[in-house]
Amino acid sequence: MGERGDWAAMRERRMAEPGAAEAYDAARLAFELGRAVRELRERRGWSQAQLAKGSGMTQSAVARFEAGGTVPTLPVLERLAAALDVSLSVSFEPRDAAA
Amino acid sequence: MGERGDWAAMRERRMAEPGAAEAYDAARLAFELGRAVRELRERRGWSQAQLAKGSGMTQSAVARFEAGGTVPTLPVLERLAAALDVSLSVSFEPRDAAA
DNA sequence: GGCTGGTATAGCATTGCTGCTATGACCTGG
DNA sequence: CCAGGTCATAGCAGCAATGCTATACCAGCC
Protein backbone atom coordinates (compact mmCIF):
# COMPACT_ATOMS: atom_id res chain seq x y z
CA MET A 1 0.00 0.00 0.00
CA GLY A 2 2.37 2.63 -1.18
CA GLU A 3 0.28 5.66 -1.92
CA ARG A 4 -1.93 7.03 0.72
CA GLY A 5 -0.58 10.54 0.90
CA ASP A 6 1.01 12.26 3.83
CA TRP A 7 -1.25 12.05 6.85
CA ALA A 8 -1.81 8.36 6.72
CA ALA A 9 1.94 8.01 6.83
CA MET A 10 2.19 10.67 9.51
CA ARG A 11 -0.36 8.89 11.62
CA GLU A 12 1.51 5.63 11.33
CA ARG A 13 4.73 7.31 12.23
CA ARG A 14 3.02 8.87 15.21
CA MET A 15 1.78 5.49 16.33
CA ALA A 16 5.23 4.00 15.93
CA GLU A 17 7.06 6.54 18.05
CA PRO A 18 8.39 5.10 21.30
CA GLY A 19 6.56 6.07 24.45
CA ALA A 20 3.60 7.33 22.48
CA ALA A 21 1.01 5.01 23.92
CA GLU A 22 -1.52 7.76 24.56
CA ALA A 23 -0.80 9.47 21.30
CA TYR A 24 -1.42 6.14 19.70
CA ASP A 25 -4.74 5.90 21.48
CA ALA A 26 -5.64 9.36 20.28
CA ALA A 27 -4.80 8.42 16.72
CA ARG A 28 -6.89 5.30 16.98
CA LEU A 29 -9.74 7.29 18.47
CA ALA A 30 -9.49 9.69 15.56
CA PHE A 31 -9.60 6.79 13.16
CA GLU A 32 -12.64 5.24 14.78
CA LEU A 33 -14.48 8.53 15.02
CA GLY A 34 -13.80 9.10 11.37
CA ARG A 35 -15.23 5.73 10.53
CA ALA A 36 -18.26 6.36 12.73
CA VAL A 37 -19.00 9.65 11.05
CA ARG A 38 -18.55 8.16 7.63
CA GLU A 39 -20.97 5.42 8.48
CA LEU A 40 -23.55 7.83 9.85
CA ARG A 41 -23.13 10.04 6.83
CA GLU A 42 -23.47 7.23 4.31
CA ARG A 43 -26.40 5.78 6.20
CA ARG A 44 -28.14 9.06 5.44
CA GLY A 45 -27.00 9.01 1.85
CA TRP A 46 -25.21 12.31 2.20
CA SER A 47 -22.12 13.40 0.35
CA GLN A 48 -19.14 14.83 2.15
CA ALA A 49 -20.05 18.19 0.70
CA GLN A 50 -23.54 18.01 2.16
CA LEU A 51 -22.29 17.07 5.59
CA ALA A 52 -19.68 19.78 5.34
CA LYS A 53 -22.32 22.38 4.64
CA GLY A 54 -24.49 21.13 7.46
CA SER A 55 -21.67 21.26 9.95
CA GLY A 56 -20.05 24.47 8.82
CA MET A 57 -17.00 22.80 7.34
CA THR A 58 -15.63 22.30 3.88
CA GLN A 59 -15.62 19.05 1.97
CA SER A 60 -11.89 18.80 2.33
CA ALA A 61 -12.10 19.09 6.09
CA VAL A 62 -14.67 16.31 6.20
CA ALA A 63 -12.52 14.10 4.02
CA ARG A 64 -9.48 14.78 6.16
CA PHE A 65 -11.42 13.96 9.28
CA GLU A 66 -13.00 10.79 7.95
CA ALA A 67 -9.61 9.55 6.84
CA GLY A 68 -8.27 10.03 10.34
CA GLY A 69 -5.88 12.63 9.00
CA THR A 70 -5.95 14.64 12.20
CA VAL A 71 -7.14 14.16 15.75
CA PRO A 72 -10.35 16.16 15.78
CA THR A 73 -11.20 18.78 18.39
CA LEU A 74 -14.30 18.72 20.50
CA PRO A 75 -15.93 21.72 18.80
CA VAL A 76 -15.66 19.94 15.46
CA LEU A 77 -17.10 16.76 16.88
CA GLU A 78 -19.97 18.75 18.34
CA ARG A 79 -20.75 20.35 15.03
CA LEU A 80 -20.64 17.04 13.22
CA ALA A 81 -22.90 15.47 15.81
CA ALA A 82 -25.34 18.34 15.48
CA ALA A 83 -25.36 18.05 11.70
CA LEU A 84 -25.89 14.29 11.90
CA ASP A 85 -28.58 14.75 14.52
CA VAL A 86 -26.84 12.59 17.08
CA SER A 87 -25.40 13.53 20.43
CA LEU A 88 -21.73 13.49 21.27
CA SER A 89 -20.76 11.66 24.41
CA VAL A 90 -17.39 12.24 26.03
CA SER A 91 -16.83 10.69 29.41
CA PHE A 92 -14.49 8.83 31.67
CA GLU A 93 -15.47 5.26 32.44
CA PRO A 94 -14.12 2.75 34.94
CA ARG A 95 -11.36 0.71 33.40
CA ASP A 96 -13.36 -2.51 33.44
CA ALA A 97 -16.41 -1.29 31.61
CA ALA A 98 -14.96 -0.69 28.18
CA ALA A 99 -17.77 1.43 26.80
CA MET B 1 -17.99 37.66 40.88
CA GLY B 2 -15.50 40.16 39.70
CA GLU B 3 -12.20 38.41 39.72
CA ARG B 4 -11.84 35.13 38.00
CA GLY B 5 -9.06 35.97 35.62
CA ASP B 6 -9.18 35.91 31.86
CA TRP B 7 -10.37 32.55 30.63
CA ALA B 8 -13.45 32.36 32.73
CA ALA B 9 -14.44 35.63 31.16
CA MET B 10 -13.35 34.43 27.74
CA ARG B 11 -15.43 31.32 28.09
CA GLU B 12 -18.47 33.31 29.01
CA ARG B 13 -17.95 35.63 26.12
CA ARG B 14 -17.63 32.60 23.84
CA MET B 15 -20.88 31.20 25.16
CA ALA B 16 -22.63 34.51 24.65
CA GLU B 17 -21.69 34.94 20.99
CA PRO B 18 -24.65 34.64 18.65
CA GLY B 19 -24.88 31.49 16.58
CA ALA B 20 -22.38 29.72 18.76
CA ALA B 21 -24.59 26.89 19.89
CA GLU B 22 -22.01 24.21 19.21
CA ALA B 23 -19.18 26.27 20.59
CA TYR B 24 -21.30 26.70 23.66
CA ASP B 25 -21.71 22.95 23.88
CA ALA B 26 -17.99 22.51 23.58
CA ALA B 27 -17.36 24.97 26.36
CA ARG B 28 -19.86 23.21 28.57
CA LEU B 29 -18.27 19.88 27.75
CA ALA B 30 -14.90 21.33 28.71
CA PHE B 31 -16.34 22.52 31.97
CA GLU B 32 -17.89 19.18 32.82
CA LEU B 33 -14.78 17.24 31.86
CA GLY B 34 -12.76 19.51 34.08
CA ARG B 35 -15.08 18.85 36.97
CA ALA B 36 -14.98 15.12 36.31
CA VAL B 37 -11.20 15.06 36.33
CA ARG B 38 -11.05 17.14 39.46
CA GLU B 39 -13.39 14.75 41.18
CA LEU B 40 -11.42 11.69 40.11
CA ARG B 41 -8.21 13.34 41.17
CA GLU B 42 -9.48 14.38 44.58
CA ARG B 43 -11.06 11.00 45.11
CA ARG B 44 -7.55 9.63 44.85
CA GLY B 45 -6.19 12.28 47.13
CA TRP B 46 -3.76 13.52 44.50
CA SER B 47 -2.51 17.03 44.05
CA GLN B 48 -2.62 18.75 40.69
CA ALA B 49 1.13 18.41 40.57
CA GLN B 50 0.96 14.65 41.06
CA LEU B 51 -1.65 14.24 38.36
CA ALA B 52 0.38 16.50 36.12
CA LYS B 53 3.43 14.34 36.55
CA GLY B 54 1.46 11.19 35.94
CA SER B 55 -0.05 12.52 32.75
CA GLY B 56 2.97 14.28 31.36
CA MET B 57 1.63 17.75 31.95
CA THR B 58 2.51 20.60 34.24
CA GLN B 59 0.53 21.67 37.26
CA SER B 60 -0.51 24.84 35.51
CA ALA B 61 -1.94 22.89 32.60
CA VAL B 62 -3.95 20.72 34.96
CA ALA B 63 -5.29 23.78 36.77
CA ARG B 64 -6.21 25.43 33.50
CA PHE B 65 -7.99 22.32 32.33
CA GLU B 66 -9.89 21.72 35.58
CA ALA B 67 -11.09 25.30 35.56
CA GLY B 68 -12.51 24.81 32.08
CA GLY B 69 -10.06 27.41 30.81
CA THR B 70 -9.74 25.78 27.41
CA VAL B 71 -11.51 23.10 25.42
CA PRO B 72 -9.20 20.14 25.86
CA THR B 73 -7.90 18.04 23.01
CA LEU B 74 -8.32 14.30 22.76
CA PRO B 75 -4.64 13.50 23.35
CA VAL B 76 -4.76 15.38 26.62
CA LEU B 77 -7.93 13.61 27.68
CA GLU B 78 -6.32 10.29 26.85
CA ARG B 79 -3.29 11.04 28.95
CA LEU B 80 -5.39 12.18 31.87
CA ALA B 81 -7.53 9.07 31.62
CA ALA B 82 -4.43 6.90 31.55
CA ALA B 83 -2.98 8.65 34.60
CA LEU B 84 -6.27 8.30 36.46
CA ASP B 85 -6.56 4.69 35.39
CA VAL B 86 -9.91 5.15 33.74
CA SER B 87 -10.83 4.81 30.10
CA LEU B 88 -11.90 7.66 27.88
CA SER B 89 -15.09 7.14 25.95
CA VAL B 90 -15.90 9.31 22.96
CA SER B 91 -18.84 8.28 20.86
CA PHE B 92 -21.90 9.38 18.98
CA GLU B 93 -25.19 8.34 20.50
CA PRO B 94 -28.73 8.45 19.15
CA ARG B 95 -30.38 11.73 20.02
CA ASP B 96 -32.94 10.13 22.32
CA ALA B 97 -30.55 8.25 24.55
CA ALA B 98 -28.86 11.17 26.25
CA ALA B 99 -25.85 9.34 27.61
C1' DG C 1 6.78 36.04 61.58
C1' DG C 2 8.51 32.61 58.23
C1' DC C 3 7.91 28.22 55.76
C1' DT C 4 5.72 24.84 52.99
C1' DG C 5 2.24 22.68 50.02
C1' DG C 6 -1.57 23.31 47.04
C1' DT C 7 -3.78 26.03 43.71
C1' DA C 8 -4.66 29.90 40.29
C1' DT C 9 -2.77 33.07 36.66
C1' DA C 10 0.19 35.33 33.58
C1' DG C 11 3.09 35.54 29.45
C1' DC C 12 5.35 33.41 26.04
C1' DA C 13 6.88 29.69 22.35
C1' DT C 14 5.53 25.77 20.04
C1' DT C 15 2.53 22.65 18.00
C1' DG C 16 -1.10 21.20 15.36
C1' DC C 17 -6.05 21.41 14.07
C1' DT C 18 -9.06 23.82 11.19
C1' DG C 19 -10.59 26.76 7.10
C1' DC C 20 -9.65 27.76 2.64
C1' DT C 21 -8.70 27.14 -2.40
C1' DA C 22 -7.31 24.38 -5.98
C1' DT C 23 -6.49 20.27 -8.03
C1' DG C 24 -6.32 15.33 -9.42
C1' DA C 25 -8.35 10.73 -9.64
C1' DC C 26 -12.29 8.04 -10.29
C1' DC C 27 -17.01 6.96 -11.88
C1' DT C 28 -21.07 7.23 -14.35
C1' DG C 29 -24.26 9.08 -17.66
C1' DG C 30 -24.95 11.51 -21.75
C1' DC D 1 -15.22 11.97 -25.44
C1' DC D 2 -16.99 15.19 -22.33
C1' DA D 3 -19.58 16.82 -18.32
C1' DG D 4 -20.78 16.35 -13.58
C1' DG D 5 -20.52 14.43 -9.08
C1' DT D 6 -17.76 12.45 -5.33
C1' DC D 7 -13.78 11.87 -2.82
C1' DA D 8 -8.60 12.55 -1.70
C1' DT D 9 -4.78 15.61 -1.18
C1' DA D 10 -1.69 19.59 -1.24
C1' DG D 11 -0.33 24.01 0.58
C1' DC D 12 -0.97 27.79 3.23
C1' DA D 13 -2.96 31.21 6.82
C1' DG D 14 -5.06 31.74 11.21
C1' DC D 15 -5.91 30.50 15.58
C1' DA D 16 -6.46 27.88 19.76
C1' DA D 17 -4.60 24.50 22.96
C1' DT D 18 -0.62 22.99 25.13
C1' DG D 19 4.04 23.27 27.48
C1' DC D 20 6.85 26.02 30.01
C1' DT D 21 8.48 29.20 33.77
C1' DA D 22 7.53 32.26 37.18
C1' DT D 23 4.63 34.17 40.37
C1' DA D 24 0.72 35.32 43.54
C1' DC D 25 -2.63 33.74 46.82
C1' DC D 26 -4.15 31.05 50.60
C1' DA D 27 -4.20 27.85 53.92
C1' DG D 28 -1.95 25.25 57.75
C1' DC D 29 1.99 24.67 60.73
C1' DC D 30 6.23 25.55 63.32
Ordered DSSP codes for A22-87: HHHHHHHHHHHHHHHHHHHHHHTT--HHHHHHHTT--HHHHHHHHTT-SPPBHHHHHHHHHHTTEE
Tell me what pLDDT residue A2 has: 39
Task: Please report the domains of chain B, with CATH numbers, ordered by start residue.
Answer: 2-84 (1.10.260.40)
Checking each nucleotide's C1' against the CA of A52, the nearest proves to be C19
What is this model's ipTM? 0.79
Tell me what pLDDT residue B63 has: 93
Give the C-alpha separation, A52 to B26, whole Å: 19
Distance A71 CA to C25 C1' (A): 26
- Averaged pLDDT for residues B4-28: 60
What would the pLDDT profile of B19-30 be if each residue is shown by its tens digit? 456 567 788 889
Q: From chain A, which residues contact B within 8 Å (Cβ)?
A: 21-23, 25-26, 29-30, 33, 36-37, 40, 71-75, 77-79, 81-82, 84-95, 97-99
User: What are A90's strand-pairing partners?
Assistant: B90
pLDDT-flagged residues of chain A (< 70): 1-23, 96-99
